Chain A
């Protein structure tokens, strides 16, 4: 299988920026998730109780939404030379990203009531920090996809799609760690 964009195709500056972005994201979420794992070991009962207030069904559906958006982004990146198709895929990515944000806020609204419990505070502080930081990424990069749909440029689309896949991978790691284990 050939790559969407090889290192030779990208200019060195763009390549470096992309890797700084990718590793910056992985480092930031790596620190947050490590903090979550450590705290879950220090407060196992409180974390188990707090997880009863989460909505894994909604989060599971959101996983499918994010996977579908990544698929749209990959199709957009592979539709070089077909501007109409590419715009549709970029728009599809942005709209699915927006759907993820809406569903996540719906999920937050069901969980908010439990945050008042002092015993669950450590879990919910970390939960909102990690998922909120991820949500901010989805919302911001989703908006950039919308902008890319208006003014599509190959290098921008490849960079955005790569970052979108990283955001997607972070969610695929977060989902079992926070909701299922």
Chain B
């Protein structure tokens, strides 16, 4: 991977991480808003795509393996979001 591209991608992920963590930190002891959680989950998906497709080199090479690796965190992230949405609706 070219260092400059890696640096750029990492910067982007880091910024998302800091923003997500700061947003999350504002809601200590309260139910976190769905939007804040969605930002954090967007970071998770972005990071996973970056790692699986680019770092592990699975882009266009082993689509089933890449899909399986991305489904694992996507499943638990969807569960987190689902719990918060349910709590907000009920």
- The residues of A with any CB-CB pair to B shorter than 8 Å are 1-7, 22, 26, 30, 33, 37, 40, 52, 56-57, 60-61, 63-64, 67-68, 71, 74-75, 77-79, 161-162, 165, 168-169, 172-173, 175-177, 179-181
Bin chain B's interface residue count: 35 or more
Q: Contact at B57–A6, with CB atoms within 8 Å?
A: yes
A-facing residues in B1-53 (Cβ within 8 Å): 1-3, 5-7, 9-10, 13-14, 17-18, 20-22, 24-25, 27-29, 32, 36-37, 40-41, 43-44, 47-48, 51
- Could you name 5 residue pairs across A and B whose Cβ atoms are closer than 8 Å? A4-B55, A33-B76, A162-B55, A172-B47, A173-B44
Asked, given contacts A56-B28, A78-B3, A168-B47, whether A68 binds B14 with beta carbons under 8 Å apart, the answer is yes
A3 cross-chain contacts in B, Cβ below 8 A:
1, 54-59
Which of A1, A60, A61 makes the CB contact (< 8 A) with B2? A1
Complex-state Cα separation, A74 to B8, whole angstroms: 12
A-side contacts of B1, CB under 8 Å? 1-4, 74, 78
Where the two chains meet, the residues of B that have a C-beta atom closer than 8 Å to any C-beta of A are: 1-3, 5-7, 9-10, 13-14, 17-18, 20-22, 24-25, 27-29, 32, 36-37, 40-41, 43-44, 47-48, 51, 54-59, 61-62, 69, 72-73, 76-77, 79-81, 83-84, 87
